[in-house]
Amino acid sequence: MNHSETGFDIRLTGNILSFSGNLEKSDYSKIDAFLKKVDQTLNADTCKINLKRLSFLNSSGIRSIATFILGSSKRFKIQINNDITWQSESIPTLAYLRPDRIEIMS
Amino acid sequence: MFRPCSARIAKSKPARYDQSGEGPLTPCAPYPTEEKQMEESILLENDFEYAFKFRKTEKRFNRLWGMKSSARESLKDWLIASDINPKVSEVCANACSELIENCVKFSKNDSTAVVSINVSDRSITVETINKAEKEHRETVSREIEALNAASDPRQVFAEKLLNPVEGKSQLGIIKISMETKGKLELVQEPDEEVVRMKLEMKAE
């Protein structure tokens, strides 16, 4: 199961949701719909989100991923690349919101 | 022979908003003579200025949106070529990308937006000037006030994540603050529709 457009790819393999490329859309409605479908499709209790190959994510993209995570009852393990500043600075904030359900892994 | 640093800083002039779209981006100084260039070569070796402007129209929206990534990559490469640390260059380029995004998204149709990046001494200044609805400027003003009032920008970021507004990210300014550790300012302009954003961050 994947959603691919010019510049980026989002792919669900098992319980791992991997993002790659540059994700900087002006309208995230298609991404939001895809992530909602992922949440409905995935049977596992835990979803691993791998952002390591995502070079750039704009603020609307952070909002889209946060909406997906906060709206789900699953546990999330988010893999980040500490060498990419936006990942090390912005993404860990998500874990403050749901420390019992969101774990940041580098 | 060496002028004090303050003189160099004073030389850097902010981008000028030019609604007509006809004028220069920044006031132009005469091109230095060869002798003058040699004299200033050491003083200017780390200085850098990059500026562009565009007219936003409804028809151009997608193409302008696509130019954001080109501008970001180009700016990062220019900063690295100007001896700015690659990590700082990336952070600055990403912040600039968010500010350009706001210009493309919120500028009034058929108005001109100006983007300028100056490196001087040990700081980088990014300035964007565009014309938007008055409500947008008020929203930006409130976001910056909330950011300045908070002891930690992550608090504001978390609050915004928990209280989404339909169709709006409202995270851009906070994301810039968290990632650059710089100072964001909404520069006051007499025209209530002109949004002049200024980001100052360390160049090292």
- Convert the pLDDT of each residue in B146-203 to its tens digit: 998 998 999 899 989 888 777 676 899 999 999 999 999 999 999 999 999 999 999 9
Report CB contact under 8 Å: A58, B164: no
Give the three-state DSSP class for B123.
strand
Please tell me if residue A58 touches chain B, with a CB cutoff of 8 Å: yes
Domain assignment present for residue B38? The answer is no
pLDDT digits (tens, 9 = 90+) for A4-50: 999 999 999 999 999 999 999 999 999 999 999 999 999 999 999 99
**Domain residue limits at B76:** 45-202
Q: Is the ipTM of this complex over 0.95?
A: no
Q: How close is the nearest chain A Cα to the Cα of B125, in Å?
A: 19
Residue A90 to residue B17: CA distance in whole angstroms: 32
Domain assignment present for residue B9? The answer is no
Among chain A residues, CA nearest to B156 = A93
Residues of B in contact with A26 (CB under 8 A): 61, 65, 101, 104-105
Domain assignment present for residue B49? The answer is yes
Nearest to A66 among B68, B94, B161 (CB): B161
Q: How close is the nearest chain B Cα to the Cα of A15, in Å?
A: 24
The domain total for chain B is 1
- Is pTM beyond 0.95? Reply is no
Domain ranges within chain A, ordered by starting residue:
2-105
Report CB contact under 8 Å: B68, A56: no
Domain assignment present for residue B10? The answer is no
Q: How close is the nearest chain B Cα to the Cα of A103, in Å?
A: 16
Domain assignment present for residue B15? The answer is no
Report CB contact under 8 Å: B101, A58: yes
B154: left (phi over 0), alpha (psi -120 to 50) or beta: alpha
A88 contacts A95 by C-beta, under 8 angstroms: no
Q: Which CATH number is A2-105 given? A: 3.30.750.24
A42 contacts A1 by C-beta, under 8 angstroms: no
Domain assignment present for residue B140? The answer is yes
Domain assignment present for residue B172? The answer is yes
Please tell me if residue A5 touches chain B, with a CB cutoff of 8 Å: no
Residue A94 to residue A98: CA distance in whole angstroms: 7
Band of the pLDDT at B128, cuts 50, 70, 90? very high
* CATH number, position B147: 3.30.565.10
Residue A75 to residue A58: CA distance in whole angstroms: 24
pLDDT, residue B142, reads 93
